[in-house]
Amino acid sequence: MKKQNFYDLNFDQLKNFLIEKTDVDNDKAKMRTQQLFNAVYKKNIKNFDELTTFGLKLREKIKNLISLTKPKIIDIQKSKDGTIKFLLELEDKRNVETVLIPDKTLSRYTICLSVSVGCYLSCEFCATAQISKKLVRNLSPGEIISQIILCKDYINDWSTQKKITNQVLMGEGSPFLNLDNVKIAIDNSKNKDGLEYGRTRITISTVGIGIKKDNMDAIEWAAKELDVYLAWSLHSSIPKHRSEIMPINDKYTIESLIPQLKKYYDQTKLPIFIEWICLEENMTEKQAKELIKIMKKVPSKLNLIEFNPLTNKDFKPASQENIDKFSKIIQENGFLSLFRRSRGRDINASCGSLANKKSVGDE
């Protein structure tokens, strides 16, 4: 019988598992779950023999029922700017990538997590889309949170070190197409006995997917269930142009998403990050004016992201002059606009660059 992967369960699921499958009493189950969470997520035990606070019989039972299986790191690339990209091999031999992006001091990192192998949303500027053109499969909760554990191991970020300060779910795939698994990974990231990240240390991204979840809009569901920052990959404020570079816009229009994003803010009180890749064609005055209309409706901040031209499409990066002009228009209208230089360009680890042929090659 295949063992249950520890990393696939959230706190309540593990508690119920212990009650159902081991001799742990109902009244001790919470304490045992806390001990297990602490041992794995804080002390980073590698196997259950290290659970010395558990009696031998219970330890053996847990060992026979639960595994601590994680993907394997099979390649590491380091950029001149300190960015580190990891190629991971999953149990089924598929691959995904994870990136550690350092701050200016090179002592703190943001981790960029992948949530699926491949992606079918076909954003024209995205390397994942250019290579995969389809979703091969979603990652399990364990495969998502393991990316953090593996990177913490690599840079020795245990105990009180807190080197990986922030996480963004902006690697391969769309978190809104894998919400149940993303929720378990985020639950365990936020849990005080888990990795203990604050809600403002985590950002999930969406191109804007207006699907329903549990009889409500998925964006509203995410506000209630995930309660972290939301980044909206907008990239164009003119519907016709947005549809050209992001086909999802035909299905879920900017107008239809605005009320849902507004509700996300109302529920979380966290501004929406509007993500905007700086292309020559979307840094115009007309785009800025349309964007301001959107920002007036959705409490938000603008993140301008330097474009890394690596796909075979003929997008050109915007000039610094146009980026400055665009930013000035946004700021003069009272909104925050930040420009982020692309990181890890020399190792294809910058925004929109995550993809590897091995992940999807033979499907």
Q: Which of 134, 125, 119 lies closest to 312, judged by CA? A: 125
Please state the closest distance from residue 129 (CB atom) to ligand SF4, in A.
3
* Contact flag: residue 230 with ligand SF4 (CB under 6 A): no
Nearer Cβ to ligand SF4 (79/116): 116
- Bridge partners (DSSP) of residue 99 are 85, 112
CA dihedral over 33, 49, 188, 20, signed as positive or negative: negative
* Contact flag: residue 172 with ligand SF4 (CB under 6 A): yes
E strands, 28-130, in order: 66-67, 72-78, 84-89, 95-102, 109-112, 116-118
CA dihedral over 343, 324, 125, 183, signed as positive or negative: positive
332 is catalytic: no
Catalytic residue among 89, 126, 351, 363: 351
- The structure tokens listed for 203 are 């950002």
* Contact flag: residue 97 with ligand SF4 (CB under 6 A): no
CA–CA distance, 319 with 313 (Å, rounded to integer): 18
Nearer Cβ to ligand SF4 (174/303): 174
* Contact flag: residue 128 with ligand SF4 (CB under 6 A): yes
* Contact flag: residue 218 with ligand SF4 (CB under 6 A): no
Nearer Cβ to ligand SF4 (122/165): 122
* Contact flag: residue 173 with ligand SF4 (CB under 6 A): yes
Nearer Cβ to ligand SF4 (130/284): 130
Q: Which stretch binds ligand SF4 (CB under 6 A): 157-165, 167-175, 264-272, 294-302?
A: 167-175
Nearer Cβ to ligand SF4 (44/122): 122
Please state the closest distance from residue 122 (CB atom) to ligand SF4, in A.
6
97 is catalytic: yes
Nearer Cβ to ligand SF4 (51/254): 254
* Contact flag: residue 129 with ligand SF4 (CB under 6 A): yes
Residues recorded for the chain: 363
Distances (CA, A) of 1 to 5, 64, 66, 131: 12, 10, 11, 36
- The structure tokens listed for 220 are 């509203």
> Which amino acid belongs to residue 183?
K
CB of 272 within 8 A of CB of 298? yes
* Contact flag: residue 126 with ligand SF4 (CB under 6 A): yes
CA–CA distance, 49 with 119 (Å, rounded to integer): 39
- The structure tokens listed for 38 are 């602490």
- Bridge partners (DSSP) of residue 72 are 89
CA–CA distance, 22 with 38 (Å, rounded to integer): 19
> CB under 8 Å to 150, separation ≥6 — which residues?
70, 71, 73, 86, 88, 98
Q: Contacts with ligand SF4: how many residues (CB under 6 A)?
A: 12
Q: Which stretch binds ligand SF4 (CB under 6 A): 35-43, 63-71, 166-174, 188-196?
A: 166-174
* Contact flag: residue 185 with ligand SF4 (CB under 6 A): no
* Contact flag: residue 174 with ligand SF4 (CB under 6 A): yes
Catalytic residue among 97, 143, 220, 306: 97
Site string for ligand SF4, 340-359 (x = CB under 6 A): ------------x-------
Binding residues for ligand SF4, rule: CB under 6 A, are 119, 121-123, 126, 128-129, 172-174, 207, 352
Q: Catalytic residue positions?
A: 97, 351
